[in-house]
Amino acid sequence: MHGIGNYFIFLGNLFIKREAFRTYVKQILDECIKVGIGSLVIVGIVSTFIGAVTCVQTAFNLVSPLIPRYVISLVVRDMTLLELAPTITAIVFAGKVGSNIAGELGTMKISEQVDALEVMGINSVSFLALPKIIACLMMYPLLVILAGFLAITGGYVAGTLTGVITPQDYIYGIRADFQEFNVIFALIKSFVFAFLIASISSYKGYFTKGGALEVGQSSTSAVTNSCIAILVADYLLAQLLL
């Protein structure tokens, strides 16, 4: 409970007496490149293969001749939009970006760089964490959109190459019974997950005490706590919005 209380105080400090917004602009752009462009490869690989595997495994499980083949791509589409693109990518994102944020802030903390900011009269919490959170909020939804596209494309490639579904059936399936809200739902999830990953990782990194060992522990803790928060938020959002 103490940790959760401190986390909310930390969130409050993000906005109290922060520097002028122009101070953050360059930092936000730098963070966007680091967070967004830096995650493209891993997000691309993971989502493409997850889409491919989902397609092949769905085909494997659909043994009844009464079920039309286009259902395979329909399942791939809905699974991708509802769960795989926002949630699995979030786990990957937490592992890559979350650990990086916690490691960076933790190292700054133990090498007195955070103290140097405080001595200058700068609100170190908002100066260091706010650009990272804003960058994640800007870039993660874009990564989710990309992940969704690549997963569905991965399913198409795997499905057609292995012969479990024809290209025509696949295209028909991904267009059948389409609900626009699923896309909105995926984007809502992506904003929530991005905030949780960036803020929890910043919090864990900022309060690092000790030396190199503790920086490693903070990174690990940032990833595990972010993953737990993502799964809890995933359940709550599904209950509330679906």
Partner 1 sequence: MIEFRNIKKSFNDKTVLHGIDGVFRSGRTNLIIGTSGTGKSVLLKCMVGLLEPDEGEVLFNGRDFTHATRNVRREIRRDIGMLFQGSALFDSKNVEQNVMFPLDILTDMSKEDKLERANFVLQRVGLENINKKMPSEISGGMKKRVGIARAIVNNSKYLFCDEPNSGLDPMTAILIDNLIKEITEEFDITTVVVTHDMNSVMEIGDDIIYMYQGQKLWEGNSQNILSTRVPELQEFIYSNKLVQALRDEQQNNKI
Interface residues with partner 1 (CB under 8 A) are 17, 19, 23, 107-108, 111-113, 115-116, 118-122
CB of 178 to partner 1, least distance (A): 45
* Of 108 and 198, CB closest to partner 1: 108
CB of 64 to partner 1, least distance (A): 58
Residue among 218, 5, 17, 6 at smallest CA distance from 117 = 17
* Of 19 and 184, CB closest to partner 1: 19
CB of 121 to partner 1, least distance (A): 3
* Of 100 and 190, CB closest to partner 1: 100
Rounded to 10°, the helix 99-110/212-241 angle is: 140
* Of 108 and 165, CB closest to partner 1: 108
CB of 118 to partner 1, least distance (A): 6
CB of 127 to partner 1, least distance (A): 8
* Of 127 and 195, CB closest to partner 1: 127
CB of 221 to partner 1, least distance (A): 22
* Of 119 and 231, CB closest to partner 1: 119
Residue with tokens 């198409």: 156
